[in-house]
């Protein structure tokens, strides 16, 4: 949806601010349902990111922690949204705790829910 500060993907408790250069592609979908996709490696623990948009910090509950050596998979939920983050193996998170994550929205993808085609 369009707000005073620009575009926002809003799924209730999960709100992500979208950069203006996506407006051209997303303008036909403003105030319509779209699917938001982001790869697990494009979601970061806020503690390990120095340069980020403070509007794209998501607080989410960690359901499951999968340590894989040099990386860890975090299975997260924020309201009805469920997603997986692939973070450094140095990240210390326990299941059933909240963590602040940063979404790299420059690498996000949007899909038309009816056709399943990529919007951007």
Per residue in 65-78, pLDDT (tens digit) is 999 999 999 999 99
* pTM for this model (two decimals): 0.84
List the strands of the sheet with 2-3, edge to edge. Answer: 2-3, 6-11, 14-18
Q: Which pLDDT value is given to residue 82? A: 93
Domain that holds residue 69: 2-111
CATH number at residue 28: 2.40.50.140
Domain count, the chain: 1
Question: Is 12 inside a domain boundary?
Answer: yes
How far, in Å, CA of 81 to CA of 10, rounded?
11
Instruction: Give the residue among 95, 53, 49 at the shortest CA–CA distance from 72.
Output: 95
Task: Quote the pLDDT of residue 3.
Answer: 65
Task: Say whether 56 sits in a helix, a strand or coil.
Answer: helix
């926002």: which residue's tokens? 8
Of residues 5 and 90, the one with the higher pLDDT is: 90
């Amino acid at each position: 949806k369009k707000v005073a500060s620009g575009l926002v993907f809003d799924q209730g408790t999960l709100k992500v601010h979208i950069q203006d250069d996506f407006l051209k592609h997303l303008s036909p979908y403003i105030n319509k349902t779209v699917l938001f996709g982001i790869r697990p490696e494009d979601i970061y623990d806020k503690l390990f990111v120095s340069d980020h948009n403070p509007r794209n910090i998501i607080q989410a509950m960690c359901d499951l922690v999968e340590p894989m050596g040099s990386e860890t998979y975090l299975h997260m939920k924020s309201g009805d949204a469920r997603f997986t983050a692939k973070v450094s193996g140095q990240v210390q998170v326990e299941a059933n705790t909240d963590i602040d994550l940063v979404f790299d929205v420059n690498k996000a993808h949007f899909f038309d829910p009816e056709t399943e085609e990529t919007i951007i």
